[in-house]
Amino acid sequence: MLGNFIVETVNNPGVATLNLLGAATGRVTFSSIFSSGSQCYYYISNGTSFEYGIGTSTTGAPNTLSRDTVFGNSSGTTTKINFSGLCTVWNDVPAQVRIGYGTRSRIDPTSGYLGLGLTAPSSRLHVSGDASASADNVRLRLTDTGASGRSITLGTSAGVTTLRDLTGAVDFLSISAAGLVSAPGGLTTDGNVQAGQVIVGTAGTASQVQLYLENTSRSTMFYLSASTGVVGLWDNSGSINRWYTDTSGNLSVYGTVTTPNVSTVNLTASGTSSFNYATFTGAIGGSTSGWGYGYTGGGSYSGAYAVRAYFAYGLLSSQNLIVASDRRVKTDIIEISRDEGRRFVAMSRPVSFIKNGFPGTGFIAQEQLKAGYGVIRFPFPGMQETIDDDGFISPKDEQMGLCMEDRIAYLVAALKDVYDQLDALRARLPPL
């Protein structure tokens, strides 16, 4: 917008575009310095009035200079002067755009600091207000001239903002046009950013918020659903929910929960819709319990009721094995009749067997279930499904167990019936 020794003349221009008549003696024309269509600063005066601003130089016959923006004139306005007579036109920088004019910009004469938009710069380049650049690929480059010689750029291209290490030719951080942030080297907070928190989403987020963890072999996502309030861990590689919690605090886990190398484990699983249980392996001390699920009835497994149980795959040993039997936690107490006791004995088949390499005696759970007596069902991975001749199905990956306290109660009722009959027989015998 600025050239050296540009001076031309124009005659009676009025307020129109200037039809330039050529350079003054010892000076050059606008068209010899500026390409056609280029903007430049201009001053024009007829010796009485003057005007200055920005115009556009156009090469032609004649060469012209439009008066696009008027910065000022002899009338104290920013409108075009209606010039008459012979006028002189030249190229110079208006005071409004000079360094040090007003508060637009300033170079401090002592420090050499450059200020834009202020009069007291406090650094090499001090900008008050917004700084902008118009291009598809805009970069701000910072270079350390010391021993490290490190050079980085902050730039934007095709809608992507990138902080790039030119020394190592890697991107520290990039933000896509959709607002997705990528940090190949990881994202770390030091306790000074949001009090050490990484926050994803806002209180007004209407859709699902996701936090991805990804490498070359697996992709996992933490998510919060705005519609259901469910928080979970989704395995993209296996397309399954590893775990999730609902708004009531219920936790659902796909697979096995393992707590290795801890001295105390508190794990509770509860519900009524499926098999709910807690499994403990290894040496266990203190009070240990799990929740199982029991069934009574025929092959359809009707009449479910919740039971508390501890399942031991192998030997369960204790100096004293105590079954809680406090009256205060029981309701609807009804004595088992002698007839029910006789029926249990009649319907039950006592057997001996070999189990896990050890001899044992007892009952068969499937037979007890078919007879209408309750059993305990608990998970046992690897157990095969079987179907009896009568169509009764023993499900896959599951074992059935018996509560021996229940059986003892029926046997006591049957034994009382035997005692009653013995007492009746003794009454019929004559005294000795």
What does the H/E/C string look like for the chain? CCCCCEEEEEECCECCCEECCCECCCCECHHHHCCCCEEEEEEEECCCCEEEEEEEEECCCCCEEEEEEEEEECCCCCCCCCECCEEEEECCCCHHHCCCCCCCEEECCCCCCEEECCCCCCCCEEECCCCCCCCCEEEEEEECCCCCCCEEEEEEECCEEEEEECCCCEEEEEECCCCCEECCCCCCCCCCCHHHCCCCCCCCCCCCEEEEEECCCCEEEEEECCCCCCEEEEECCCCEEEEEECCCCCEEECCCCCCCCCCCCCCCCCCCCCCCCCCCCCCCCCCCCEEEEEECCCCCCCCCEEEEECCCCCCCCCCCCCCCCCHHHCCCCCCCCHHHHHHHHHHCCCEEEEECCEEEEECCHHHHHHCCCCEEEEECCCCCCEECCCCCEECCCEEEECCHHHHHHHHHHHHHHHHHHHHHHHHHCCCC
Confidence (pLDDT) at 365: 93
Instruction: Report the predicted TM-score, pTM, of the whole model to 2 decimal places.
Output: 0.35
Partners of 10 in beta bridges:
87
| Identity at 49, one-letter amino acid code | S
Residue ranges per structural domain of the chain:
7-97, 105-144+156-174, 211-255, 338-418
Q: What six digits make up the tokens of 337? A: 């009749």
- Tally of CB atoms within 10 A around 328: 5
In angstroms, rounded to a whole number, what is the distance separating the alpha carbons of residues 107 and 424?
124
Confidence (pLDDT) at 1: 77
Confidence (pLDDT) at 290: 38
- Reading the chain (432 residues) residue by residue, the pLDDT tens digits are 789 999 999 999 999 999 999 999 999 999 999 999 999 999 999 999 999 999 999 999 999 999 999 999 999 999 999 999 999 999 998 877 766 565 567 677 678 788 887 777 888 888 888 777 766 677 777 777 666 667 777 777 777 888 777 776 777 777 877 777 777 666 654 444 454 556 666 666 667 777 777 777 778 888 788 778 888 888 877 778 778 888 887 888 777 666 665 555 555 544 443 444 444 444 444 443 333 333 333 333 333 333 444 555 555 666 666 777 889 989 999 999 999 999 999 999 999 999 888 898 999 999 999 999 988 887 788 889 999 999 999 999 888 888 888 899 999 999 999 999 999 998 898 877
Sign of CA dihedral 406, 410, 413, 419: negative
Q: Tokens 């010689």 map to which residue?
A: 149
Residue 405 Rama label (left phi>0; alpha psi -120 to 50; beta):
alpha
In angstroms, rounded to a whole number, what is the distance separating the alpha carbons of residues 89 and 42?
7
Asked if residues 88 and 9 have their Cβ atoms less than 8 Å apart, the reply is yes
Confidence (pLDDT) at 273: 39
In angstroms, rounded to a whole number, what is the distance separating the alpha carbons of residues 72 and 53?
7
